Chain A
Amino acid sequence: MNPLLKNLLLGEIIVLLVIVSLIAGHALLLSFRERRRMVPNRVALDALAMASVGGADARMRAVGLLSRTRRSLRIQALLDVALVVEGRARAELREVADELGITRDAHRLLHHRRWWKRVTGARVLMGLGEAPRVDLLDDERIEVQQVAIAWISEADDPPALDRLVRFAGAAIPLLRFVAQDSLLRLGPTAMPPLRNRLEQLSGIHRPDERQTVEILALLEVAEGMGDPELTEAALPFMSNGSAQVRASAVGVMAAFGGRKNERRAAGALSDIDPLVRAAAARALGSMGAWKNGHVVRDHLSDRDPLVRREAAIALGRMGPVGRILLRDAASWDGPGASLAAQMLEVQGPVGQVTR
Chain B
Amino acid sequence: MTSFARGMLVTFEGFLLVYFASVNLFYLVQLLLAGLEVREHQKRLRLDPLWRVLDSSVAPRITVLSPAHNEQLTIISSVRALLGLDYPNLRVVVINDGSGDATLEVLLQAFDLRVAPGALGHIDTERVRGVYRSPSHPHLIVVDKENGGKADALNAGLNQVRTDLVCAIDADTLIERDALQRMVRPFLLEESGVLAAGGTIRVANGSKIVAGRVVEAKVPRRWLARVQVVEYLRAFLFGRTGWNRMGGNLIVSGAFGLFKTEDLIAAGGYEADTVGEDAELVARLRRNARLEGRSDRVVFVPDPVAWTEVPSRFRTLRRQRARWHRGLAQVLSRHRRMIFNPRFGALGLVVMPYFLLVELIAPVIESMGLAALAIGIPAGFVNTEFAIAYFLVAYGLGAIVSLAALLAEEVTYHRYRRARSRIRLVLAALAENTGYRQLTVLWRFQGLIEFLRRREHWGHMERAGFEGAASTEIAPDQAR
Q: Which A residues have a C-beta under 8 Å from some C-beta of B?
A: 1-2, 5, 8-9, 12, 15-16, 19-20, 22-24, 26-27, 30, 116, 119-120, 123, 142-143, 146, 150, 171-174, 177-178, 180-181, 184, 220-221, 224, 305-306, 308-309, 312-313, 339, 342-343, 345-348, 351, 353-355
Contact = CB atoms under 8 A, between A and B. Distances in A.
B137 to A, nearest CB: 10
B175 to A, nearest CB: 22
Nearest to B55: A181
B229 to A, nearest CB: 14
Interface hub of B43, B116, B138, B392 (most chain A Cβ within 10 A): B116
B403 interface: yes
A355 B135 CA distance: 8
5 contacts: A20-B403, A174-B185, A180-B58, A220-B58, A221-B58
A173 B47 contact: no
Q: DSSP class of A's interface residues: helix, strand, loop or mixed?
A: helix
A12 B48 contact: no
Contact of B118 (A12, A172, A342): A342
B140 to A, nearest CB: 11
B5 interface: no
A172 B189 CA distance: 6
B189 A174 contact: yes
A310 to B, nearest CB: 9
Interface of B: 43-44, 47-48, 52-53, 56-60, 114-118, 120-121, 133, 135, 138, 185, 187-191, 385, 388-389, 392-393, 396-397, 399-400, 403-404, 406-407, 410-411, 414, 419, 422, 426, 430
B410 A26 contact: yes
A123 B47 contact: yes
A29 B412 CA distance: 13
B121 A305 contact: yes
B385 A5 contact: yes
B400 A19 contact: yes
B52 A181 contact: yes
Contacts of A8: 389, 392-393, 396
Contact of A224 (B48, B57, B389): B57
A1 B114 contact: no
A12 B392 contact: yes
Lowest 4 A-B CB distances belong to which pairs? Answer: A174-B188, A12-B396, A19-B403, A346-B114
B400 A1 contact: no
A116 B40 CA distance: 10
B52 A353 contact: no
Contacts of B138: 354-355
B410 A23 contact: yes
Contacts of A24: 422
Given A174-B185, A346-B116, 10 more contacts: A5-B392, A19-B400, A23-B403, A30-B414, A171-B191, A177-B56, A177-B59, A184-B58, A343-B117, A346-B115
Given A181-B58, A354-B138, A142 B389 contact: no
A250 to B, nearest CB: 16
B400 A342 contact: no
Contacts of B185: 174
A305 to B, nearest CB: 6
A293 B83 CA distance: 33
A184 B407 CA distance: 43
